[in-house]
Structure 1
Amino acid sequence: MTDLQSGVTPTYDGLADLLASAPAETWDAPSLCEKWQVRHVVAHITMPARLTPEQFGAEMAAAGGDFTLLSNTVAARDASLPVAEHLAHLRSPLLHGWQPPGGGAAGALIHAVIHSLDVTVVLDRPAVAPVEAVVAVLDQLTAANGAWFGVDLTEVRLEATDTDWSWGSGEVVRADSGRLAALLSGRTLPDGRVLRPG
C-alpha cells in the first residue's frame, strides 16, 4: 500500500458499520485497551472529529502536557455520548483526513487500524481494516523493530495465517494479521499471548 492515508477511511467506516449493527451491550464490552470499554476506544479515536485544534490545546494544557492523562480524561467524559454521535464521528471526513502531530499518514493508519483491532479482536470479529492496510501497519511496526510500542522482537518470527506476510527469525508467533498487529502494539490477546516488552 503506497498511499497509507487511503486505508484510514475504510477502517473507520468498517468499524462504524460493525458497531451500528451490533447489540447495544457491545458498547460496554471490554476492549484490548486496559480499563477501556468499546465506547471509550471510540471516544478516543474520534477526538479529531470533535475537538478543534484550540480545544485540543486547552485539553492538553489542562492535562499538564500529559497525553495519556488527556486521553483518559476525554475518553471517560465523552464515552457517554449517544451512539449515533459516535457513529457519525467515526464516519467524519475530519477524522478520515486527520494525521497525528509528527506521525503523518503512517501514524494515522496505525492509529486507525490498531484501535479498530482493540474492538474487533475482543469481539472475536474479523478486522474491519482492509487486509492491505493491516499488512502496511505490520510493515511499519516491524520496520521500527517494535519501537513504536516498545515490544522486543529479538529472535521472534511473526507469521500471518491469513496472508503470506512474515517477518523475522527465531521463535515463531502465528496468528491472523490483525492479531499480529495487536501484539506488535503491545496488547495482550484474549488468549493471553503478548510480546515481550522492549
Structure 2
Amino acid sequence: MNEIWPVVHAEREALIRDLEDVPAERWSTPSLCPGWDVHDVVAHLAGDAKTTPLSFVLRFAAARFDFDRYNDAAVARERTDDPRRTLASFRAALHRTTGAPAPKATRLVEAFVHGEDVRRPLGLSRDYPVEPVVTALRHQLRTRVGIGGGKERAEGLHLVATDADLDVGEGPEVRGPALALLLALSGRPIRPDELTGPGAPTLTKDGGPPHP
C-alpha cells in the first residue's frame, strides 16, 4: 500500500488543482458516471477519502448492504450547496490514508476513473502515470462487474495496451492506451478513436453500473 498512496495523493491534488478555476455553474455538468454530475463525483471522492474500515461497515449496514444506497448517502453527506466548500472538504482530506476494507488497487481505480469522470465532460485532460493505471486495469480484470470491476466485460477478448506492458486474454483483439481500456472495463464511454480492433465494439457496448 505504501507505493499506492503517493499516487493517490498526487491524483487527488491534481484534480483539486484542475477544479479550482472551474466556474460553479459548470459543476452541474453530467459526469461520465451515470446519474452523477461533476459535483456529485467530487463529493463522493471527498467521502471516500474520509472513510475508515469501521465507518464503512457501519454505514454499509445502515444502507442495508446496498452499494448504490451507500454511495448515494455518502454523496448527500459531503455535497454542499457551494462547490467551493465541497472542494475544500476534499482538499482537507487529500493526504488521508484510510479507506473501506477493499483491495488496495481500488484506490487507484477510484483516482483514475473518477478523475476522468470529471475531466472529460469539462474538457480537461491529464497525463496519468501509466504503470499505476495498469495496476488499476489488472484489478478490474480480476473483479466482477457486480462489485465495480470489469471481469465479465473482458471475457473472450484479447486486450493489448499500446503504451504499456499489458497483453492479456484470448479472442478478438482490443488495442489502445491503458487508460482507455481501464475506462471501458469500468463501464465508461470513450472516444470512438481510442480503442481499435475487432473486439472493441464488444468491450464498449455496455455502459456499466453507476458507481465503481
TM-score range, shorter chain: 0.7 to 0.9
Letter in 1 for 2:78: D
Higher relative contact order (CA 8 A, sep 6+): 1
The corresponding residue for 1:194 is 204
Unaligned runs of 5+ in 1: none
Letter in 1 for 2:121: V
Q: CA contact under 8 A between 1:12 and 1:112: conserved in structure 2?
A: yes
Q: CA contact under 8 A between 1:48 and 1:95: conserved in structure 2?
A: no
8-17 vs 75-84, greater mean Cα deviation: 75-84
Q: CA contact under 8 A between 1:11 and 1:112: conserved in structure 2?
A: yes
Q: Distance in 1 between matches of 2:91 and 2:165?
A: 30
1:7-48 Cα shifts (integer Å, max 9, x gaps): 111111111111112233331111111110011011112114
Q: CA contact under 8 A between 2:50 and 2:99: conserved in structure 1?
A: no
Q: Distance in 2 between matches of 1:140 and 1:58?
A: 26
Offset of residue 4 of structure 1: 2.2
TM (norm. structure 1) is: 0.77
What is the root-mean-square deviation in Å for CA atoms of aligned residues?
3.3
1:142-197 Cα shifts (integer Å, max 9, x gaps): 3x176634533133233334x13432243232343322211111223365972567
Q: Distance in 2 between matches of 1:130 and 1:195?
A: 27
Q: CA contact under 8 A between 2:131 and 2:164: conserved in structure 1?
A: no
The corresponding residue for 2:17 is 17
The corresponding residue for 1:110 is 109
Q: Distance in 2 between matches of 1:71 and 1:94?
A: 19
The corresponding residue for 1:184 is 185
The corresponding residue for 1:74 is 74
Q: Distance in 1 between matches of 2:67 and 2:133?
A: 25
TM (norm. structure 2) is: 0.72
